[in-house]
Structure formats: C-alpha cells, structure tokens
C-alpha cells in the first residue's frame, strides 16, 4: 500500500472480492505520516530515551512508555525466545585463583576452596531455533553461577559493546534485524533494508557494526570465542567500598574465526556445526576452558576517561585498564535433555549476589525489567525459578506462593511479613548476615528524558577498532559491509551508511563505496533531511572526537594465542594403497599434539594400505567437506595418489582448503595430487624437494619433519595473506 517513495498510498473504497480478505480489511493499520502513540493513543514526545533521574541517572519504574513498549516486545514470540532462540549449553565449574576480597564480598570470588557449578548457554541472536549456527551475528555468552549465596547470572555476548545506548530502543533494533514483516525474510541475516535503515539512522551503533562486520561474528567454535559482560557493573567489598568492573571471558584455545565464504558453505553442509563441535569436544574429554577476567576502575576514576563508563556502546581499551585474570571456568558435562536444560534455562541480569551490584547504564536498567517479563511468558508464569535447571543450590525461604506450575508445597498458615504466628520467619538478613544491600549511590537530579552529553561520541572507538585490525581483517570488514549493503535495495540507505563509514575511516568508506558503485555523501545531516528522517545535528555528532589510542592490540584476533592445535580437526586424505608409514607418523604426531584426526577416503568401508594393513576411514568424500576441517594432509602411496588425482571431489576438497587459507601438507610422493589442483599449478618448481612455503603449504619427503612443520602451521590457524592475491574458484 506504499508508493515507491515510501509514502502510503491513499486507500480506495474498493472492497476485496475474497470474503476472508474483506473481513480482515477493517483490522488493517497503515502507518505513514502520523504521530507515534502508545497502545492507549497517547502521543509520544521522546521515543529515544527512557525516563531517568538526571541524564546520567538510573531509569525510573514510573516510565510507563518504556514498560509498555518492552512488555509488548517481550511477549511477541510464543514460546520461542524473541532473541537468542538458537542456543546450545553445557554444565561446568568455576574456581577463583586467589581471593578477590579487596574488591568484592561475593564468596565465589573470595574463597579459593569453593568450586562453583555453572551452566553456560551460547546462542546466536537474530535467528530462529531452526536457523544455522554460522550466521553472521553476535553470539550470546550467558553463564549461570550456582553460588552458595544464590544464583548469579552473567549475561553477555562475544562482543564487548552493543548497538544502542538506551533499552527503550531495543524493540526497534530487534524489529529491524528480524525477518521483514511483509514476507518473513531473510532468516538469521542482517543483510536487508530494515536493519540497515535503522542502523543508518542510529549512529550510536557505529562501533558495534564494526564488530559485527568483523571476523568476530563468524567464530570457528564456541570454544574459541571471547565473552563479555557488555555493561559496567559494580563490585562492593566488606567495607562497603565500591569500584566499577567490566567482565571478560578469555578462551584458553585462543580466538579464531572462519571465512565468510566458508561459513555459508558450512551452513549448507552442517547447520549444527557449533552445537556439534561443543558437544563432541566435551563428550571426548576435551573440556573447553575460559579464564574470567576483570577490568577494575576505582570509583574516584569514574570520569577519568574520554568515554563514559556507563555507555554500553563503548569498551575500556586494555591498554588503559589491563584485564586481570582471576579464575577459570571449565565446561565438563553435556546436558542430559536439551529441552529441560538448554531450552528452559532462564537468565536474568537481576540475579546478583552480595558484592555485585548495578550501575546506571540505561541499557542495563531496561534489561533488568525485561528479563523477568520475558520469562513470565516463555516459561509459563512466576515459578520458572522452580524448573530444575534454574533452581539455586541454596534453599529458598520467602512468602511467595501459588501461581502457574507451582512445585513447592509450602506448609503452615503464614505467608506474610511481619508475622507473629510463625515467629516472624522467614526473617530479613542483615548485611553482616549475608543480606543483599544496594550500593548507596547518591543521586540528585531532575527526572528527564535525555541522553547524557558524555554519550555523544559515536565514532572514535569504531575508528580505534578498525585501525587495530590487520590488513586481512580490514579487508574482511570491507567485504562484509559490501555484501550486506549489496543486499539492501534502497540506495538512500546505502548512502547513509557510507556517510557513517566515512566518519569512521575514509579508506573503509572508499572500499565499500567502490564495491557498491556509489559515491560517499558529504553531509549526513542533509542526506537524512532530504529523506525525511530525523536529522538532529547533535545526534549525528557534529563535534569530532578522537581516541587517545591509535591502536589496541586486544581488538585484533591476530594477537590471540597460537601455540596449540588442541581439538583442531585435521583431514587425512587416503585411499586404497596408501603409504601406511606416511599416514601413521603424521596421524600419531597430530593426535599426540591434541588434534582430532579424521581419515577421509573416496568411499566408506575398509581399504588396504601398501603393506596390506586394513584401514577403516572415518568419513568419505561423498558425505564430508573441507570446510568442516582445520587442515588437510595427503600421504603418499602410488595407488592412493592415483585415486585422489582422478577424483574431482578430492581436488575440490584441497582447492577449498587453500581458498580458506588453511594449512595443507603432503608427502613428496603425493605431490602430483597438489599439481592437479587449481592452486597447485603455481607451486614452485623445486616443490618436489624439501620445501616449506610461507603460505602454509608443507611439502617434504621427511615425514617426521613434515609432521613437526604441519603442527606449527595448523597452530597459526589461517594464512590470510594468501587470500587476496590468489583467489581460487572452489
């Protein structure tokens, strides 16, 4: 019902011929040119800011507009989660290294003798339960600590910042990124008009967009990604002294990603790739591990930095505040029942313990309301805490009764406080007895709908992130933005994004603009005014901000640890007549280094080696693919080599591995297999000799040397430098 200029067309008096369509006609709403209202018809004056005590103070429960908007949003999906619908989980334990009593009185962070049970749920954000694991998306990283003082939920993501600064915009963000309402497409993807329309009009999202368009959005494994609490929290010690804290999870396997082309292929080959990887790692005893890190900022340093600690679109660079690693989490048990545990687990930012408290981050404040409201619908009512996976390990005593699916059978006739019939129990606990007390932060301000001026810098940290990337990582960001915006049909939206990118980095914007065949607009405010959008100059940041740091090493995945191949999946291509020695020496060396070795043959069923030893392959080229492995080795053996040379699937397997920058090794006796590949035609003339290419291809007739060099190459994860100049049609 809209014209090409997005202006609603005038409704006609013609009646639809279909009776069902005609019956629905009076229920239709056509939005265009009207004022924004609440569900009660009240015109809304400010839909960008929640009601706060001062522009930097806490959000108020009084804000009926915020409550109505988020309540409606929370109840839009039944019973699937609105966001983070597709997830996988695991049980584990956490233990602090040394007492952190200097900063907090939370016992699980101060008593080194305590091993705290945890349940962790990883998830994509935008897709439905049936979508792929390999969507370009943020990943949820939520940890439930079952502490001796009650449950503490650290609900975060694999990226340290977020799209928006105020929770009142969360429904808008998710509505924009979800499939478009008129056709339900695309699924689990942000490459469409409504998402980028929203982003182009909300410049505070610029920093987060850099992260989502980076390789961080395509993790190699859930076990190989960082986690962040996103918000700034408080820690409070026994003396009542408070400090600010940012929470980090640092994976001991390092932070690694897959290529975008690879991610798309994996989605077709195995959409459960991340789920399967996590399950198999735990099932085989290769328990994933993360260290809990904290960045501590003393209260007196709250306003010390060029960014606001309460702004969720900002991070604290590790060069300014180093991350202290204070404990380790190990995931050591898979769920027994996916629905009962992974699906029914309920996280909530408001689940804290003494020693951990909130700040006035306006996104955090809104989420404190939203999580409970969501669980009430999704899990059937107020007793979701009684579902086994959600139950604390400490006994519960309160006067809350009844409700849907109540499981506790409370005895006695007292369910109120104060009371005399029950001895006034359950009694309130003093702070000295472990009772939770909120930090007594003094606030003196008017209640307003406003954004703190300290939140106005939208681009400096986005620039810092881009500057911190390696050349291949920058190329990946440019390619990702080009792909995403290439799917956007509205030219004006592309132009607005280009104008925002130009504020981040001119070379970034130029690279994307070239791929899109567009010019970079010079004035973002005028551009939006011409499109009829809100173009408040202050909102679009007329003032220039610059980070005090040129680069931050922690922001690039290049600097992640690369000293292990533990749990890396390596394919050994072998067929009838393989050189058993060439196969077994490399296989044993890889296994000894902790890798998972998979023998891939031309077909299933046993085959014989040159020495007449029976070998049973794990997979066949008919059912597996290169994208599911981290590296490939081709052993010698005349008949095996001949079979692989004549097999198009084997050559495609190797071409894909090369295209995706993985380590490839071959016995010199198998060099002709590589020579049959697209990339192999350009191998050095002396490749038959003992040669190690800087691009991660190892060729030698000394199998022991080959194994050592191959392991070293796999530990580097990828050889991205061969990506741009040598594209392979695989």
Q: Which of 363, 542, 526 is nearest to 451 (CA)?
A: 363
The whole-angstrom separation of Cα 211 and Cα 296 is 23
CB 57 within 8 A of CB 308: no
> For residue 531, which of 588, 572, 491 has the smallest C-alpha distance?
491
The pair of three-digit structure tokens given for residue 69, joined into one six-digit string = 């908007």
Given the structure tokens 């690879």, which residue do they identify? 262
Closest CA to 449 of 40, 65, 42, 38: 65
Are the C-beta atoms of residues 25 and 17 closer than 8 Å to each other? Answer: no
Nearest to 160 by CA among 225, 213, 222, 229: 229
Cβ(485)–Cβ(209) under 8 Å? no
Measured between alpha carbons, how far is 137 from 142 in angstroms, rounded to an integer?
16
- Quick count: other Cβ atoms within 10 Å of Cβ 461? 27
DSSP state at residue 295: E
- Identify the CA nearest to 316 among candidates 257, 206, 229, 242: 229
Q: How far apart are CA 154 and CA 82, in angstroms?
A: 19
CA distance 343 to 577: 48
Q: Locate 225 and state its tokens.
A: 């990604």
> φ and ψ at 155, to 5 degrees?
-100, 105
Beta bridge partners of 700: 667
What does 308-377 look like in DSSP terms, one character per residue?
A: -TT-TT----TTTSPPEEEEEEEEEE--S-IIIIIIT----TT---TTEE----HHHHHHHHHHHHHHHH
CA 221 to chain centre: 11
Nearest CA to 602 out of 588, 586, 615 is that of: 615
Name the active-site residue from 49, 151, 157, 647: 157
Q: Which residues, 6+ apart, have CB-to-CB distance to 34 below 8 Å? A: none
Q: Give the separation between CA 279 and CA 273, rounded to whole angstroms.
A: 10
Asked about 157 being catalytic, the answer comes back as: yes
CA distance 108 to 608: 56
Rounded-to-integer distance, Cα 64 and Cα 60, Å: 9
Q: Before 186, cis peptide (omega within 30)?
A: yes
Rounded Cα–Cα distance for residues 24 and 17 (Å): 12
Half-sphere exposure of 293 toward its Cβ, with a 13 Å CA cutoff?
21
User: Do 187 and 127 touch, CB atoms closer than 8 A?
Assistant: yes
Q: Where are the alpha helices (DSSP H) in 600-692?
A: 638-645, 648-659, 671-675
CA dihedral 599, 605, 608, 609 (to 10 degrees): -10
Q: Which two tokens stand for residue 594?
A: 């902790």
Q: Tell me if the bond preceding 79 is cis, omega within 30° of 0.
A: yes
5 CB contacts (<8 Å, ≥6 apart)?
A: none
Look up residue 9 and give its DSSP letter.
P
- The tokens describing 351, both together, are 């689940």
Q: Are 139 and 123 contacting, i.e. CB atoms less than 8 angstroms apart?
A: yes
Identify the active-site residue in 48, 84, 385, 717. Answer: 84
Tokens 């800011």 -> residue = 49
E-assigned strand segments in 609-726: 614-615, 619-620, 631-634, 663-667, 691-692, 697-700
84 is catalytic: yes
Catalytic residue annotation: 84, 157
């Amino acid at each position: 019902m809209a014209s090409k200029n997005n202006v609603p067309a005038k409704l006609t008096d013609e009646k639809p011929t279909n009776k069902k369509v005609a019956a629905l006609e009076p229920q239709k709403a056509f939005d265009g040119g009207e004022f924004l209202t609440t569900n009660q018809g009240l015109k809304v004056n400010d839909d960008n800011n929640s009601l706060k005590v001062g522009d930097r103070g806490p959000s108020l429960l009084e804000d009926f507009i915020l409550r109505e908007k988020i309540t409606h949003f929370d109840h839009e999906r039944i019973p699937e989660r609105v966001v983070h619908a597709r997830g996988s989980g695991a049980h584990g334990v956490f233990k602090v290294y040394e007492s952190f009593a200097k900063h907090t009185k939370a016992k699980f962070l101060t008593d080194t003798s305590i091993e705290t049970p945890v349940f962790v749920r990883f998830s994509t954000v935008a897709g439905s339960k049936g979508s792929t694991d390999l969507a370009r998306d943020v990943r949820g990283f939520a940890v439930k600590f079952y502490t001796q003082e009650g449950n503490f939920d650290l609900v975060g993501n694999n990226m340290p910042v977020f799209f928006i600064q105020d929770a009142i915009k969360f429904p808008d963000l998710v509505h924009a990124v979800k499939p478009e309402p008129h056709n339900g497409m695309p699924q689990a993807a942000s490459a469409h008009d409504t998402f980028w329309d929203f982003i182009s009009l909300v410049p505070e999202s610029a920093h987060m967009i850099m992260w989502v368009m980076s390789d961080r959005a395509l993790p190699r494994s859930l076990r190989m990604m960082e986690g962040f609490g996103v918000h700034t929290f408080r820690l409070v010690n026994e003396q009542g002294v408070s400090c600010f804290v940012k929470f980090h999870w640092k994976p001991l396997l390092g932070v690694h990603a897959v290529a975008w082309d690879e991610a798309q292929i994996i989605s077709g080959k195995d959409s459960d790739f991340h789920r399967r990887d996590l399950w198999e790692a735990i099932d085989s005893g290769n328990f994933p591990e993360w260290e809990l890190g904290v960045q501590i900022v003393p209260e007196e340093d709250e306003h010390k930095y060029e960014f606001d600690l309460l702004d969720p679109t900002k991070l604290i660079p590790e060069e300014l505040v180093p991350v202290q690693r204070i404990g380790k989490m190990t995931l050591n048990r898979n769920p027994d029942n996916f629905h009962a545990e992974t699906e029914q687990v309920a996280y909530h930012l408001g689940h804290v313990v003494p020693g951990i408290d909130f700040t006035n981050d306006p996104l955090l404040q809104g989420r404190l309301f939203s999580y409970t409201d969501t669980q009430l619908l999704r899990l059937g009512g107020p007793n979701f805490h009684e579902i086994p996976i959600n139950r604390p390990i400490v006994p519960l005593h309160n006067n809350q009764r009844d409700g849907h699916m109540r499981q506790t059978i409370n005895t006695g006739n007292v369910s109120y406080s104060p009371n005399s019939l029950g001895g006034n129990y359950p009694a309130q606990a003093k702070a000295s007895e472990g009772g939770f007390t909120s930090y007594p932060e003094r606030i003196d301000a008017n209640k307003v709908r406003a954004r703190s001026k300290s939140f106005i810098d939208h681009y400096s940290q986005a620039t810092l992130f881009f500057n911190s990337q390696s050349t291949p990582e920058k190329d990946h960001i440019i390619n990702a933005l080009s792909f995403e915006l290439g799917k956007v049909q509205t030219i004006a939206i592309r132009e607005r994004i280009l104008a925002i990118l130009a504020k981040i980095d001119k070379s970034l914007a130029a690279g994307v603009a070239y791929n899109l065949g567009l010019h970079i607009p010079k004035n973002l405010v005028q551009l939006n005014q011409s499109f009829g959008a809100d173009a408040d100059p202050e909102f679009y940041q007329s003032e220039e901000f610059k980070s005090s740091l040129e680069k931050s090493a922690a922001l690039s995945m290049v600097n992640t640890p690369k000293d292990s191949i533990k749990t890396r999946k390596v394919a050994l291509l072998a067929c009838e007549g393989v050189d058993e020695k060439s196969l077994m020496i490399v296989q044993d060396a890889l296994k000894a280094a902790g890798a998972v070795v998979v023998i891939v043959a031309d077909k299933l069923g046993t085959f014989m080696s040159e020495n007449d030893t029976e070998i049973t392959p794990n997979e066949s080229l008919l059912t597996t693919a290169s994208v599911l492995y981290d590296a490939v080795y081709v052993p010698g053996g005349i008949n095996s080599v001949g079979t692989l040379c004549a097999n198009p699937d084997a050559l495609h397997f190797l071409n894909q591995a090369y295209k995706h920058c993985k380590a490839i090794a071959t016995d010199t006796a198998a060099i002709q297999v590589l020579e049959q590949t697209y990339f192999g035609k350009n191998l050095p003339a002396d490749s038959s000799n003992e040669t190690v290419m800087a691009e991660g291809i190892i060729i030698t007739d000394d199998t022991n040397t080959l194994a050592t060099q191959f392991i070293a190459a796999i530990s580097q994860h990828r050889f991205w430098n061969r990506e741009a100049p040598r594209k392979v049609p695989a």
